[in-house]
Amino acid sequence: MGAAVTDEKLVTMKPQVYKDPRPKEHFDRYHARVRRGEPNFVYELVRMCTCLYAWLFFRTRSLDSWKVPTNGPVILAPNHFSFMDHFFTGAGVRRRVQFMAKSQLFSKGMQWIYNPGGVFPVRRGVQDEEAFVTAHAILRRGDSIVMYCEGGRSRTADLSEKPKRGIGRLALESGATVVPVAIHGSSKVRNWKRGRLPKVIIQYGDPIVWDRVDEPTRDQQQLAADEIFGRIRTLYSSLDERLRAG
């Protein structure tokens, strides 16, 4: 397994250089809604549709989903290749899974689907403290969220070289259980336009728990993020080898 990790091709993700021009106050109402309570019926409706889409078109299968705790605060930490990754991550577990989405998606009427479904915005290009406050609110009431180590979607179909420290910060500050997740095949989801539908496999890893740290240093945050992403990388490499071997 160590050789698989060593031989894996790693790339540096292209940085996001744009910013959402709308002020922080524009998104306050979306955060407030998620902080007040759990998602409403919109979540179940979207979950049903996306799960059927995943199972029927991408033959999505989940491995070791029993490793995800059935109650208590949980951070699901998958790799990120596709806009479908949060739905793939949640398809294999029975509990509700919420996630943050880039603030640009909260426009053109889509916010009326995202927000009631428990999705909250994060403003890229700035240190968005409101997103952390909302994530903590979800975890404090014992719910689960998806958060990506890489901070954004890889455009290269390869894992990034180094994770962002945000997930380490959230894990240490909250003391929530972190479950690493490897998603294989989602980088080819858009190939349906060419008549090719990939098979998507989700592998859940062993849970990790850190003691709570009220104000973790940047180094502590990065070390925790590195540990999480290292496990994702190992899961992904092992899964890739097994699939290539049939």
Whether 38 contacts 143, CB under 8 Å: yes
Instruction: Please give the average pLDDT of every successive group of 10 residues along the chain, which has 246 residues.
Output: 42 56 91 94 92 90 95 95 88 90 83 88 88 97 94 71 92 98 85 73 96 96 96 92 82
212: left (phi over 0), alpha (psi -120 to 50) or beta: beta
Distance CA 163, CA 7 (A): 18
The three-state secondary structure class of 53 is helix
From the list 25, 56, 208, the residue with the least C-alpha distance to 128 is 25
Whole-model pTM? 0.87
Q: Hey, where are the domains in the chain? A: 2-244
Burial category of 183 from C-beta neighbours within 10 Å (exposed 0-12, middle 13-18, buried 19 and up): buried
Q: Is CATH 1.10.3470 the classification given to domain 2-244? A: no
One-letter amino acid for residue 232 of the chain:
I
